[in-house]
Amino acid sequence: MGPDLESRTDLESLYVDLHRHPELSFQETRTAGVIARELDALGIEYEEGVGKTGIVAMIRNPTASGEDGPTVWLRADTDALPVEERTGLDYASTARGTDPQGLDVPVMHACGHDMHISAMLGALRRLVTTKDEWAGTVVVVFQPAEEYGAGAKAMIADGVLERYPTPDIVLGQHVTPLPAGTIGVRSGTQMAASDGLRVTLHGRGGHGSRPHATIDPIVMAAATVMRLQTIVSREVDPREVAVVTVGAMHAGLKNNIIPAEAVLELSLRYPDDEARERVMEKVERIIRAEAAASGAEQSPTIVIDHTLPPTINDLDATARLHTAFDRHFGEGTVVDPGMFTGSEDVSWFARESGAPLVYWFWGGIDAEAYAAAVAADTVERDIPTNHSPFFAPVMQPTLDNGVANIVVAAREFLATR
């Protein structure tokens, strides 16, 4: 299954191009054009503009008797992040974009979605050239706006599940800071559920020299941020998993003006719906109580920007894929990475269609560098994680492995000729 040198070099060039030209969520128009060009070259039918900037491709390859065979859905996400790249790579991004608030921001593929796209296109090349070995239908979803937790829902709202064959299984993968050559997957909850909250604290603005005549929302926000940190440390059972992060705080424009409001953006994580209900209640209680303690004349406005379910891998399908990976790559390649407190929207495709899901991680860090960091107990310091301005998967063997992972996984659930 190894790629020839020419196709491998071409795929690396594709990856470099995507890395240099990242685009924010629901703005992935150039990226979609690159994907469409590659699909045209492979002769694969596809539809553009699904869920605004998504693409759906399909390969029909009936069995010898003319039957449709199994339907496997594959998913790759396409958007980038408002991060200024600091990797030092000669193909580092210098791109900029406009975020939903209208701000000019740097843009970087800091989560590896460029690697996801490249690996998926490489896998499609291999599936097309080996159609005499397998049968079935492959539906490939190039999904926008994963970083906003909105792209999968947008594609579903656009009718993707009605227009394409129902999946027998949904498969996906994510590059992560594991050593290259490693695959991380587990049955059950693989990634946490999450909510994104936008909280507006309403004060009363005025002159910075007369704080007594105002209700200062910045002080209110500071007290709220600190109190929110007590939820996990003091109100959640230490045996449970929960995360409460305030990722952004916006307030004020000048040092001598007390603004009328402050905005907090929160990321909440939990393993299941019951934990979600408990944490959400505590978060709302603290926000409203701190506002009352500050003398706010208007109750805070709390808006849920997105809700993501837990990513739950099907027990039987995960065991089957684990065996397939072991058979192809050798035993010891697959590890249990534990539950990730990051969240994903890939599971909406499985949940809404009633299909099983297997979602795995594959390593993108130089194996020797990772081993040295483990030996020195400096992994947290020396190995950049997703969303870091320093995150840069080593191109090889990460790219080759990503291609092989998808092909092995897809072929495991397709029919054999």
Give the integer Cα–Cα distance in Å for 73 and 166.
9
Strand stretches in 299-347, DSSP E: 301-308, 311-313, 334-335
pLDDT digits (tens, 9 = 90+) for 223-267: 999 999 999 999 999 999 999 999 999 999 999 999 999 999 999
The DSSP bridge partners found for residue 301 are 200
Res 105 pLDDT > 80: yes
Residue with tokens 């791109």: 95
pLDDT digits (tens, 9 = 90+) for 256-284: 999 999 999 999 999 988 999 999 999 99
The pLDDT, as a whole number, for residue 41 is 96
Structure tokens of 89? Answer: 């790579």
CB neighbour burial string for 352-372, b if at least 16 within 10 angstroms, e if fewer: ebebbbbbbbbbbbbeeebee
pLDDT digits (tens, 9 = 90+) for 343-393: 999 999 999 999 999 999 999 999 999 999 999 999 999 999 999 999 999
Task: Count CB neighbours of 110 within 10 A.
Answer: 28
Architecture label for domain 5-191+310-416: 3-Layer(aba) Sandwich (3.40)
The pLDDT, as a whole number, for residue 313 is 98
Give the integer Cα–Cα distance in Å for 134 and 395.
29
* 3-state SS class at 40: helix
The pLDDT, as a whole number, for residue 262 is 98
Res 2 pLDDT > 70: no
Residue with tokens 């979609």: 32
Sorting pLDDT into bands at 50, 70 and 90, what band is 3?
Answer: low
pTM of the model: 0.90
* 3-state SS class at 352: helix
The number of C-alpha atoms within 13 Å of 35 and in the hemisphere containing its C-beta is: 34
The pLDDT, as a whole number, for residue 373 is 95
Q: What is the residue-averaged pLDDT of the chain?
A: 96
Provide CB contacts within 8 A for 58, sequence distance 6+.
44, 45, 46, 137, 138, 139, 140, 164, 165
The DSSP bridge partners found for residue 410 are none
Provide CB contacts within 8 A for 171, sequence distance 6+.
72, 73, 74, 75, 357, 358, 359, 406, 409, 410, 413
Res 160 pLDDT > 70: yes
Q: Is residue 182 within 8 Å of residue 335, measured between CB atoms? A: yes
CB neighbour burial string for 166-200, b if at least 16 within 10 angstroms, e if fewer: ebbbbbbbbbbbbbbbbbbbbbebbbbbbbbbebe
Look at residues 39, 206, 64 and name the one whose alpha carbon lies nearest to residue 122: 39
| Whether residue 70 has a cis bond before it, omega within 30° of 0 | no
The number of helices, as runs of H, and strands, as runs of E, in the chain is: 13, 19
Res 37 pLDDT > 90: yes
The pLDDT, as a whole number, for residue 273 is 87
* Mean pLDDT to the nearest integer, 67-90: 97
Q: For the chain, what are the domain ranges?
A: 5-191+310-416, 193-307
Overall fold of domain 193-307: Alpha-Beta Plaits (3.30.70)
